[in-house]
Structure 1
């Protein structure tokens, strides 16, 4: 239950002064539905009225606060024209401008000959300063009514600044004193205020420096948010570890057969990752491990050897991929190796129906099957395993924390989960998105992978590219031609691909094939089959080929409008070539009017093939939400904190959360109870359910 002291903060925003039904919708759109959401909506600007410029010193566009004498009133001569009031000081004169005013109100507020302090935005009109509808007007003896410092907030259409300021002011009156959850030594070292003072100071800046992320009040609140995120993920990790698992230790006899059949020796990174996985599987707790590997680093082999460990111990394993194409490719890669070891493996996708599906389900339920490969159809209720001990999930960022837990529940007693991602993930994102997992990295390429020659050319040279392509085809090569992302829409992207397909087909005839996201799975498979077998020599595609496609004979990758793709995506696409013995080339075709960021992306692609460096650069250029696509990534949306620019704070929160949970896993000490309040404050209620007494 949420602590009672927080109830006023979780009241609806409409309970604040000035928020009626119409405003409520706008406030919710801007900040969220509750009072607390307004506390996290920090000011972006500051109006300072302590200075008193003279009329002659005013600047266009600036907010000025001046002491002036009221002069002549000039009412509007006809409807639609403004009402003007002349004002002056010893340095010059200017006008106040009002549209559709009440004349009696202006006569009372601005009596001729009186002195007033006025504040508002200065606009120059025909070279002369004027002020339209001043924000504040006070008599000299009422100066205390003028807010000398006023925070301004980001807005949404239809919501006036004054309404937000009034609502925030009402929210600040409800901010309670809470028991401190931060370590006192850390607070002193960083000179952070208490939580309540931090909120008040963040909303009442005294200078522009107070608006910066590194201002003590703001940094304190960002650290609180990071800590709540890391604690929540840590509690999920602890829960996973508490759930009884199986102690799985194979004898290595199946593994030995597969390793002998491999055309290359395992890399050091693969051996280290396997060692980590074996340790996890041998422990009585459940495994939840992330296997990060760059393009072509041999993740699938590591996953197979992990699954064989389960099979050797008398259990089953499953591998789940995000798309049918990828599931089929995994199956195609694993099946011959499983045959070498005498292992029974099957493929289950949404397309399998009737008798065939029933047979696969029966085999899984009766232990006839050792390994089952599939798409998310493996999640479906009718899929039951006899003894599922290990689930391998490929392309992690499509699956959030909840699905990880759901999958691990499939095997009854508790299934170990190994998640693979071919997108190297920068450390800051690893912490925020995968903090519930242990991490192994494959940062070496298997021997024999040749570097890909990456070149960049303007789109105007398209004819030269086609000529070079003809030469490559005559030499026996196959070519990928990836069409531009028009917008994140299968329909529009498919149209662009169809146009390029028609163009190339006009030159190269039937050897050109087309694949895009709007095709039916069976059509996609048929096209891929033609390309894999060499019947089709050029594959025109949208980004559906981004992951997992493996055709060693394809040695040329052309990416049209490369400037529209993210770095990680370009790196993934380039990883489709360079898989065979022949030298490979990647051509990045770009529009001549390249923006700065796009130019940087293309430069980095030419400089390096190191996926981990590329991921760090991508994060720097694009930001976390875009990098993994926040909507699909299960990435937390931070309200105050920023995982990129404050990565040092995030790392400190990660360390602190680990230490807290080692000493007080149920959050039962005095600090632990205060930390529960922190979790509720940042709406990490889900995590509190994982506490025995929560």
Structure 2
């Protein structure tokens, strides 16, 4: 989503009947009121709710339950029996800390007695936090839910969900019966309190919610209204399908998931319509420069590369702006495709700007392009933050006066002082690391340049539709011939010597290796290996070979020197952080070691693995895990062993970690959906996207959809991927 589109949504000029406008304004005023207007919420409770970002009545309405408990059948202690799931109500007879001999852990137990037959007992066990036993009072009524198992002759629950209702005489148990929503808690806010607040809000305010989704679309997909859906999640009907409810597939869930996707897709559709409708540059097909480029290449394009270049050429020849994403696996040749696209603009007398997130990557690109563009007469310049003032001035002068220039840079290109004489194409490498406003600020430096975006690793289709939903997408789905699979193996510290023997065997043959750490210096907060801590040990492990460090704290000149010496073979082992994740291309390097591999995402591990295997020789990726302590870690690392396919790995990574963590939440640009989950809800995303794009095509100014206009405007301040 570009800045222009966001600004457009923010500044939508509502031209409609005064009565409708006043109605929307009045409703919005009511829903924007402080939670202090909710019955039972005083100043102290309002402060506690604020810690959960619940400040207004609207916030409370959209604070949905994280799960539910089925208390339609509430068992007394005397009625308890073996079950995968049950809810038991009883009175605390005693609570006490315990030590477990076998595991040597400490926990606590709670003994419940039956309300009418106190000699009937039931045990609750926790294998941690023994201090919690002191917070439980004898005589209080509790409801425990979970699996009922047998321990010896006794029935018990281990780590149940437990709700303390209070003293028996003060509790109306009917309030805690039925299907009960369970909310995320914070200190000072307990289930019975927040449940009471949410019940009050849903019953008194949900009906005020205006539904931005047009009735026609709701009926088409058989969805309830927004107010019905919100109320249903807070106050579920006793006859609801239990499986659908707990799996997030109830009609209410479907309506809210569709709504989240629909609103976001509307903004993408508006953005795309704004952008592609602008008259663009109709570039002629290049002849001379493409011929020279082909002669300078040391390889031939794959069929997939040729297909994508043709797609780009057709888009650049069209008399409207190109807005295209190119993605492919590590090593698929995206950079060479970008070079071919650049020559289309350069031969026509236009300038090209290529942005990358790091100076290491900028240097890598400019070196490649200068080699490929030999004898073309094209200027290849760079602009980064580490350059001297005189160097910068010379570059700025060239950009302002020379045509057929290609500039490579980091965020320095965004600066206001950078002026282009004739910018025709913008290429963005690793685009998701740039905010959308930065992207827009570069595009605004010219009348209507074409835009080409490249991603470092494959992005799952579901995520591409959200993050890049306003772009056309080209996929390079083929690797160059002769690429050998990279042998990937997971090791723990107990097998470290076995791994080192394999690495030393490659070094003796004259090959080179990377060792990647998550940290530069040792951290008191994180139990992770660091470069500084491990360097003395590595010097002993690789005695006889030259080692050097490469990380973000080094001066740019020092980084360039180290990379160049590694490329020349003067350094055998490069000890680095993930600064080498992209941009370092040394064909003689055949070993990648990743320390604390369990702390990296699959896509990042795959990207690191892609630094080796570029020279045609046998290559290795060794993933050193400090532990394999969870099923998620095992699944992630074993996936690296099983497949070299970045597209498959990206789907697994997205499913395991979610969109924000997949790309890095702060910089990802992906919206934070409340209920929608990718890739699980991909079908709903496709439906909502199709509906939104069709609606915006028919009614671009939303003159016939006032409620939708109002909601997009209201959400602008907090609902945008920047």
Instruction: Classify the TM-score, shorter chain.
Output: 0.7 to 0.9
Residue 520 of structure 1 pairs with residue 550 of structure 2: no
Tell me if structure 2 keeps the 8 A contact 1:10–1:34: yes
Aligned position for 2:107: none
Within the candidate set 561, 566, 576, 2:596 is matched to 561
Give 1:488 deviation, angstroms.
Answer: 11
Q: Tell me the distance in 1 between the aligned counterparts of 2:644 and 2:319.
A: 39
User: Closer, same or farther in 2 for the Cα pair 1:91/1:435, shift >3 Å?
Assistant: same
Scaled by the length of structure 2, the TM-score of the pair is 0.81
CA distance in 1, matches of 2:188, 2:316: 57
Structure 1 partner of 2:339 = 304
Partners of 1:470 and 1:143 in 2: how far apart? 69
- Per-residue Cα deviation, 1:434-474 (whole angstroms, up to 9, x for no partner): 11222111111123333222233343233333333333222
Aligned equivalents of 1:162 and 1:397: distance in 2?
42
Taking the TM superposition and a 5 Å limit, the aligned residue runs for 1:172-571 are 172=202, 173-176=204-207, 182=213, 187-188=218-219, 190-207=221-238, 208-209=242-243, 210-367=245-402, 370-411=405-446, 413-484=447-518, 496-506=530-540, 507-509=542-544, 511-571=546-606
Q: Is it true that 1:584 corresponds to 2:619 in the alignment? A: yes
SS in structure 2 of the partner of residue 470 of structure 1: helix
660-669 vs 349-358, greater mean Cα deviation: 660-669
Map of 2:185 onto structure 1 = 155
Question: Could you tell me whether the CA contact under 8 Å between 1:494 and 1:518 is conserved in 2?
Answer: no
Listed one character per residue, the Cα deviations across residues 391-434 of structure 1 (whole Å, up to 9, x for unaligned) are: 111111112332222221112x1222211111100011111211
* Cα 1:46/1:378, change in 2 over 3 Å: closer
Contact 2:399 / 2:419 at 8 angstroms: preserved in 1? yes
Give the CA deviation at 1:10.
2.7
1:673 aligns with 2:703: no
Measure how far apart 1:178 and its partner are: 6.0
The answer to whether residue 40 in structure 2 is matched with residue 18 in structure 1 is: yes
Q: Which whole-Å CA distance do the structure 1 matches of 2:634 and 2:526 have between them?
A: 25
- Distance in structure 2 (CA, Å) of the matches to 1:677 and 1:667: 10
Which ranges in structure 1 are unaligned for 5 or more consecutive residues? 69-85, 102-109, 111-117, 688-694
In structure 2, what is the equivalent of residue 653 of structure 1?
688
Conservation of the 8 A alpha-carbon contact between 1:6 and 1:681: no
Q: CA deviation at 1:12?
A: 3.4
- The corresponding residue for 1:73 is none
In the other structure, the counterpart of 1:36 is 58
Q: How far, CA to CA, are the matches of 1:493 and 1:261 in structure 2?
A: 49
- Give the structure 2 partner of residue 134 of structure 1: 166
Contact residue 459 and residue 561 of structure 1 kept, 8 A: no
Q: Distance in 1 between matches of 2:89 and 2:518?
A: 53
Matched position secondary structure for 1:503: helix
- Counterpart Cα distance in 1 of 2:440 and 2:164: 59
Q: Is the 8 A contact 2:521 2:533 kept in 1?
A: no
Provide the C-alpha distance between the structure 1 equivalents of 2:115 and 2:488, rounded to a whole number of angstroms.
68
Distance of 2:163 and 2:44 partners within structure 1: 29
Residue 525 and residue 100 in structure 1: after superposition, are their counterparts in 2 closer, same or farther (change >3 A)?
closer
When structure 1 is superposed on structure 2, of 344-353 and 483-492 the one drifting more is 483-492
2:306 & 2:164 partners in 1: Cα distance?
Answer: 72
Cα distance in 2 for partners of 1:296, 1:206 equals 54
Give the Cα separation in 2 of the matches to 1:638 and 1:422: 24
Deviations 1:264-319 (A, max 9, x none): 22222222222222233233332221111211111111111111111111110011
Conservation of the 8 A alpha-carbon contact between 2:520 and 2:530: yes
Deviations 1:129-148 (A, max 9, x none): 99976377579xx9988876
Q: 1:245 to 1:190 in 2, by over 3 A?
A: closer
Task: Compare 4-13 and 325-334 and name the one that shifted more.
Answer: 4-13
CA change 1:359–1:217 in 2 (3 A) is: same
For residue 621 of structure 2, give the secondary structure of its aligned residue in structure 1: strand
Which segments of 5 or more consecutive residues in structure 2 lack a partner in the other structure?
1-13, 15-20, 92-112, 123-133, 149-153, 157-161
What is the aligned counterpart of 1:574 among 594, 609, 619?
609
Distance 1:615 1:560, change over 3 A: same
Q: 1:92 to 1:520 in 2, by over 3 A?
A: same
The answer to which of 545-554 and 515-524 deviates more is 515-524
Relative distance call for 1:149 and 1:481 in structure 2 (3 A) is closer
Give the whole-Å Cα distance in 1 for the aligned partners of 2:609 and 2:71.
57
| RMSD of aligned Cα (Å) | 3.8
Q: Is the 8 A contact 1:202 1:211 kept in 2?
A: no
In the TM superposition, what whole-angstrom CA distance separates every residue of 1:150-209 from its partner, at most 9, and x where no partner exists? 433221112233442343244332234566554656544654222211111111113544
Deviations, residues 495-516 of structure 1 (Å, cap 9, x unaligned): 7223333223234346111112
SS at match of 1:640: coil
Measured at CA, do residues 20 and 251 of structure 1 come closer, stay the same or move farther in structure 2, by a change above 3 Å?
A: same
Spell out, residue by residue over 1:343-384, the C-alpha distance to the aligned partner (whole angstroms, 9 max, x if none).
Answer: 111111111112221111100111256100011110011111
Check whether the contact 1:498–1:514 (CA below 8 A) recurs between aligned residues: no
Asked if 1:596 corresponds to 2:631, the answer is yes
Q: SS of the counterpart of 1:419?
A: strand
Match of 2:105 in 1: none
